[in-house]
Structure 1
Amino acid sequence: MPHLSPFVVGLHQWLLALLCLVPLNAQAAIEVGALTGELNLGPHVQLLEDAERELDIEQLVGEGGALAWQPSRQETLNFSFSDSAWWLRLRIENGSSKEVRRLLELAMPLHDYLDAYVVDEHGEIVSQWQTGNRRDFDSRPVTHRTFVLPVYVPAGESRQIFLRLDTHDGLYDATPLYLMSDAGFLAKAQRELMAFSLYFGALLALLIYNLLLYVATRERSLLLYVAYLGSFFILMFTARGFAFQYWWPTLPTFNNQLVPINIGFFALMLAVFSNSFLSLRRHAPRMTHVLFVVGGMCLLSSLPALLGHYAPLFRLMIPAAIVLSCLLLGVAVWRSLQRDTLARIYLVAWGVLLVGVALYFLRVAGVLPYNLVTEYAVQVGSGIEFLLLSLGLAWKINQFKNEKLAAERATLELQRSLNERLEVEVEQRTHELERANQRLTALARTDPLTGLLNRRQFHELVEEKLQERRRSGLPLLFAVMDIDDFKRYNDAYGHQAGDEVLMRVATMLQDHFQRAGDRLFRLGGEEFGILLEADSLEAGQHALERFRQALEQLRIPHETSCYGVVTGSFGLVCCRDCRKVPSAMALYRQADLAMYEAKERSRNRVVTRSIAEVLE
């Protein structure tokens, strides 16, 4: 053997020692310096099962190479029912020339316990958090419905991230894990917020609309629909993390109890509503009892949540929910084959919802890719389902009305054959009732004092106009007018004189705005709304200026006004892209703000604004 110098021997021994320090299952680092969008970390993390829940971060940092870390290879992490705690590990590095901040999101709002640690290259913990759905909401470093952790990586350095996932009693939900830049997270958060705002807004609008219908008609099926929709609304609002964030951020135990309890209540209301919707008491009375029993089992199986037991609860609830769904689908198919129109509507509605649920869970299982369709499939499916069911209820009520009218006609024919005089009296009473209904319909649409459309019609007509302009791309102009110092006018001249002023202003509005698309509303008190058929903001402003001058030239005395006569302040908004206006109320608020700006600028003037400029 050739003789080696002491220096070469020492260098050889140092290299061997260095290699011994490198763990055999070393993890490849993820380059984040140039990351701009979002990265799904599911396939990139390593997993470690802590069956005894004894490991801590010091052991993982000191003995990480000797532990049985395994690559996940899952698009979405899912531990299902497990009594173990699970550790996740990944390494990120910054190859850029400046420090970067990256956001790590665990996109499961209902995860019980999350402990996170960021370790630098020397094994020192530089950041750590203890949060989760069973801890107060303010334990989260970023105020968001899911769990978002900020990780800072200096230029040319790397960081190792450890996540400890644990549950209350062994029930894990599917756990999407993403790494994003600030811009990527902002885009994702805005996209989600817009989608959920539209979704929950649509559900809430359907709920309120049908509740008002119930108040007006006292139709029991409408009340059951409202209870069914309301339980689903609260369930989704809670399951998506919004309830914990906005409603009870300091009540984590209550938040966790509410989810299974509301699932059980939703299943019971589903059984009760479906029984009413499909008229099963008349067509299949035995099935009514079966549905109520299964729905009751779902509710009863949720009660252990009050004692803090969740995993056994879902082992009972999931099969009961599957049985209930199969029963409802079977009944709907059976009634559809018997040419029951309501059953066919119900079957289509449930079919759309089940397709949405299937797409979402296939995405969670990693079978389908993540995209807008698979992520929001449940929301889209349930929204369409509730809309179809609402239409079905309207059809059902209309059928009852037609049957009632047919029965009335038969009764009239019988009365006519028995007594001609009684027939005449009934006919007269019928005509009186029709005229009363017409008057009631008119009263429901118009303001009784001025004859203008009322606030309810404002919401309906402006929503229709917004939808029309979203399709056509044409601009939409809306103005709010308020009579200046009207309270002082009432105090000085009396309320009767004030009513006369309101009627004169309403008459002037009708005289000045006579184009086919113009719509006039009394929004309340001395406030009026004007939907203008104009091509531009300048044309609308010109039309309002003519009316303002005409009102001032009436010279209606108003001693307490700085102008000495009755005047008005106007706020005009022009929406050139109606897709940016979510609702009629959003349009009204902007016009109202412009009107108040006119008030602040000495009144008796027109202030304009563009929706596009406000929203940008």
Structure 2
Amino acid sequence: MPGEVNVTRRYFLPQLLIATVCGWLLLCLWGQPAVAAIDVTEAPGELNLSPEVVLLEDSDRTYDIASLPAENERLPWQASGQETLNFSFSSSAWWVQVDLTNGSEAVVRRLLELAMPLHDYLDAWLVDESGEVIRVWQTGNRRVFDSRPVAHRTFVLPIDLPPGETHRVVLRLDTHDGLFDATPLYLMDGASFLAKSQRELMAFSLYFGALLALLTYNLLLYVATRERALLHYVAYLGSFFVLMFIARGFAFQYWWPNWPTFNNQIVPLNIGVFILTLAMFTCSYLSLHRHSVWLPRVLYGAAGLCLLSAMPALWGHYGPLFRTMIPSAILLSTLLLVVAVWRCWRGDVLARIYLVAWCVLLVGITLYFLRVAGVLPYNLITEYAVQAGSGLEFLLLALGLAWKINQLKNEKLEAERKTHELQRQVNQRLEAEVRSRTRDLESANRQLAAMARTDPLTGLYNRRQFLTLVDEELGCRRRLGQAVLFVVMDIDVFKAYNDTYGHQAGDEVLVKVAALLKQHFRREGDHLFRLGGEEFGLLLEADTLKAGYRALERFRGSLEALRIPHQGSVYGVVTASFGLVACEDFEQVPDAQALYSQADQAMYEAKQQARNRIVVRNLLPENT
């Protein structure tokens, strides 16, 4: 049994000559690499075999299934360790082995799937314990579709394991021209394979159905409107649809199952056509001919280079083809991004939609090509990124086309409207000029009024507005019987700051202080003033003196927390002193100047008490 052979290989004793001879004879027949057999009765419904197999590179293509068992022990087999078999660009053939054992008392059927529809040549053998080949498969993308044992877009091999026996699956993977696609390898029971196939078929049906619906709808729109951008969109979407239908194996299964050579030739040629239609669509979608004479020529030239690099596919050359096509595609993609960014910078709404859509597709295509080149591993993201990105891209572009058609319609209406307006142009010119002058005058008056009310540096109310606004507020609160809370704030030793750091730095401090005031005092009744120099006034809307004091203390702490360096201050940073007056006896503060005087005296007391503090002058009744 294979399990016994594995035990013999690991634990054979040199002193037992008979065991050694028996082990050697079995190894010559069976050739088991140092990987344990997989018990299919204990394996999950869908098992990724890629990390479990062993690999052998056949650079000279000298091995065959007849000579392989006898030489197996001395061959450089290596454990895969890959989540997905990926040989990228390689001139060798690759052998893959895995042992499957049935520990049950009944025949077990499993399905081995190579989930890559574009693999060129696949030869497979099922070998029993005695080394006899009991089943052979020869299929691949370069052989007719009927060579596949299961009619499926990927390669599915049915394996029947008798009870209590171990069989080896041997695969030989080869390519026509040295380009391997990443090949996932799964082992499944029938129910799991059916469920997986149904999920994939549902997803691809929705995907291709959505693309086909977009294509049909926009083709009908082109017939109705004769807008060239719609025709280019249909060509672009149609070439992409065909490319995806081929790449996922559906075209070979349903369209041309007996033409494997054509199936392989059409893939790179369709990529070249897709890139050319992309350039055509971009030029018409963004109306590049209106903005530049040479730019469309550059895009067509790069696209033509991609199409030209696909021509070797007609003579059966594919490996070098992708080595030249990928740089050409990267060049065109870079140009498209630059053009889209340029048009976005010029305020083109269509370019913004195009940039988002193209970036989504570009990310998907980049991930896919990096996976083909072997830079990135095979996984759901790298395998299906093109589908996800393209679906979103075409939806966004369809939205942009609708916007473009509407824009063209508006431009046409505008042109018709201009013809009518020319008849009244002379009479309206004078009226428009008068309205324009009136608007300019009103705007100038508004600007002058704003300049008269606000401080140009900080954006706060100035001292003139302070006198007017506070007098109004005092009158209002006198009628309502409400207390008034007013603060005078002065930045500490600010003259020394200007002398040390310069007046420009001082202005920056004033701007920062004003911004911090706006952040802290945002209630509707809060009013902020720059009273002059480094002095500010705050008319607070607070329910009580304590609430006003707490709000002011929070601001003082925040100002200190800004940590604006100040060598002339004992605190080492910019601070401020505050005088807070609270009063509801308006006989003592009949106007803004009297209120300012009370708060200013309290502020100077704070200055005398080592600064960076709040001094309160409470003129409220004791029970308030």
- In the superposition, the TM-score normalised over structure 1's length comes to 0.64
Partner of 1:15: 19
Instruction: Check whether the contact 1:137–1:244 (CA below 8 A) recurs between aligned residues.
Output: yes
d(CA) in 1 for partners of 2:167, 2:138: 19
Decide whether aligned partners of structure 1 residues 10 and 292 sit closer, same or farther in structure 2, where only a CA change above 3 A counts.
closer
Asked if residue 278 in structure 1 is aligned to residue 261 in structure 2, the reply is no
Asked if residue 313 in structure 1 is aligned to residue 321 in structure 2, the reply is yes
- The counterpart of 1:34, out of the listed 42, 63, 67, is 42
Decide whether aligned partners of structure 1 residues 164 and 145 sit closer, same or farther in structure 2, where only a CA change above 3 A counts.
same
- The counterpart of 2:272, out of the listed 236, 242, 264, is 264
Aligned amino acid, residue 237 of structure 1:
F
Aligned amino acid, residue 143 of structure 2:
R
Partner of 2:407: 399
- Listed as ranges, the matches of 1:161-560 within 5 Å are 161-357=169-365, 370-371=379-380, 375-415=383-423
d(CA) in 2 for partners of 1:116, 1:368: 24
Instruction: Check whether the contact 2:367–2:376 (CA below 8 A) recurs between aligned residues.
Output: no
Give 1:62 deviation, angstroms.
Answer: 2.3
Give 1:238 deviation, angstroms.
Answer: 0.5
Partner of 1:578: none
Aligned-pair identity in percent equals 67
d(CA) in 2 for partners of 1:355, 1:305: 26
Decide whether aligned partners of structure 1 residues 215 and 173 sit closer, same or farther in structure 2, where only a CA change above 3 A counts.
same
d(CA) in 1 for partners of 2:108, 2:369: 34
Per-residue Cα deviation, 1:324-377 (whole angstroms, up to 9, x for no partner): 111111211221122211111011111222343456678886967845x66533
- Listed as ranges, the matches of 1:35-114 within 5 Å are 35-114=43-122
SS in 2 for 1:110: coil
Partner of 1:141: 149
Give 1:10 deviation, angstroms.
Answer: 13
d(CA) in 2 for partners of 1:225, 1:369: 31
Give 1:415 deviation, angstroms.
Answer: 3.8
Stretch moving more, 377-386 or 142-151: 377-386
d(CA) in 1 for partners of 2:130, 2:333: 55
Instruction: Check whether the contact 1:113–1:166 (CA below 8 A) recurs between aligned residues.
Output: yes
d(CA) in 2 for partners of 1:83, 1:25: 24
Aligned amino acid, residue 228 of structure 2:
R
Aligned amino acid, residue 186 of structure 2:
Y
Aligned amino acid, residue 146 of structure 2:
D
Decide whether aligned partners of structure 1 residues 370 and 79 sit closer, same or farther in structure 2, where only a CA change above 3 A counts.
closer
Partner of 1:590: none
Instruction: Check whether the contact 2:109–2:160 (CA below 8 A) recurs between aligned residues.
Output: yes
d(CA) in 2 for partners of 1:312, 1:381: 27
Gaps of 5+ in 1: 1-8, 420-616
Give 1:16 deviation, angstroms.
Answer: 2.0
d(CA) in 1 for partners of 2:119, 2:416: 59
Stretch moving more, 103-112 or 410-419: 410-419
Aligned amino acid, residue 15 of structure 1:
A
d(CA) in 1 for partners of 2:124, 2:20: 34
Residue correspondences, number: 410
Decide whether aligned partners of structure 1 residues 24 and 135 sit closer, same or farther in structure 2, where only a CA change above 3 A counts.
closer
Aligned amino acid, residue 394 of structure 1:
A
Aligned amino acid, residue 263 of structure 1:
I
Aligned amino acid, residue 16 of structure 2:
H
Instruction: Check whether the contact 1:39–1:179 (CA below 8 A) recurs between aligned residues.
Output: yes
Give 1:174 deviation, angstroms.
Answer: 1.2
d(CA) in 2 for partners of 1:358, 1:299: 18
Aligned amino acid, residue 304 of structure 1:
P
Gaps of 5+ in 2: 1-12, 428-624
Aligned amino acid, residue 122 of structure 2:
L
Per-residue Cα deviation, 1:64-108 (whole angstroms, up to 9, x for no partner): 112111112111111111111111111111122211111111111
Decide whether aligned partners of structure 1 residues 313 and 10 sit closer, same or farther in structure 2, where only a CA change above 3 A counts.
closer
Partner of 1:542: none
Give 1:41 deviation, angstroms.
Answer: 1.4
Give 1:35 deviation, angstroms.
Answer: 3.1
Decide whether aligned partners of structure 1 residues 170 and 296 sit closer, same or farther in structure 2, where only a CA change above 3 A counts.
same
Instruction: Check whether the contact 2:111–2:157 (CA below 8 A) recurs between aligned residues.
Output: yes
Instruction: Check whether the contact 1:359–1:368 (CA below 8 A) recurs between aligned residues.
Output: no
- Listed as ranges, the matches of 1:109-128 within 5 Å are 109-128=117-136
Aligned amino acid, residue 299 of structure 1:
L
d(CA) in 2 for partners of 1:69, 1:10: 24
Stretch moving more, 131-140 or 324-333: 324-333
Instruction: Check whether the contact 1:26–1:65 (CA below 8 A) recurs between aligned residues.
Output: no
Partner of 1:129: 137
d(CA) in 2 for partners of 1:338, 1:81: 43
Decide whether aligned partners of structure 1 residues 289 and 361 sit closer, same or farther in structure 2, where only a CA change above 3 A counts.
closer
Decide whether aligned partners of structure 1 residues 142 and 25 sit closer, same or farther in structure 2, where only a CA change above 3 A counts.
closer
d(CA) in 1 for partners of 2:133, 2:175: 24
Give 1:316 deviation, angstroms.
Answer: 1.1
Aligned amino acid, residue 413 of structure 1:
E
Decide whether aligned partners of structure 1 residues 374 and 295 sit closer, same or farther in structure 2, where only a CA change above 3 A counts.
closer
Give 1:132 deviation, angstroms.
Answer: 0.4
Stretch moving more, 22-31 or 360-369: 360-369
Aligned amino acid, residue 177 of structure 1:
L
d(CA) in 1 for partners of 2:313, 2:359: 30
| Greater gyration radius | 2
Aligned amino acid, residue 343 of structure 2:
R
Partner of 1:581: none
SS in 2 for 1:160: strand
Decide whether aligned partners of structure 1 residues 41 and 260 sit closer, same or farther in structure 2, where only a CA change above 3 A counts.
same
Instruction: Check whether the contact 1:36–1:183 (CA below 8 A) recurs between aligned residues.
Output: no
d(CA) in 1 for partners of 2:366, 2:47: 24
d(CA) in 1 for partners of 2:364, 2:267: 20
SS in 2 for 1:102: strand
SS in 2 for 1:58: coil
Instruction: Check whether the contact 1:134–1:253 (CA below 8 A) recurs between aligned residues.
Output: yes
Give 1:310 deviation, angstroms.
Answer: 1.2
Per-residue Cα deviation, 1:539-561 (whole angstroms, up to 9, x for no partner): xxxxxxxxxxxxxxxxxxxxxxx
Aligned amino acid, residue 174 of structure 1:
A
Aligned amino acid, residue 94 of structure 2:
W
Give 1:275 deviation, angstroms.
Answer: 1.2
Per-residue Cα deviation, 1:12-54 (whole angstroms, up to 9, x for no partner): 3211213334468432111211334211111111111111112
Aligned amino acid, residue 353 of structure 1:
L
Aligned amino acid, residue 347 of structure 1:
L
d(CA) in 2 for partners of 1:240, 1:62: 39
SS in 2 for 1:109: coil
SS in 2 for 1:296: helix
Decide whether aligned partners of structure 1 residues 402 and 186 sit closer, same or farther in structure 2, where only a CA change above 3 A counts.
same
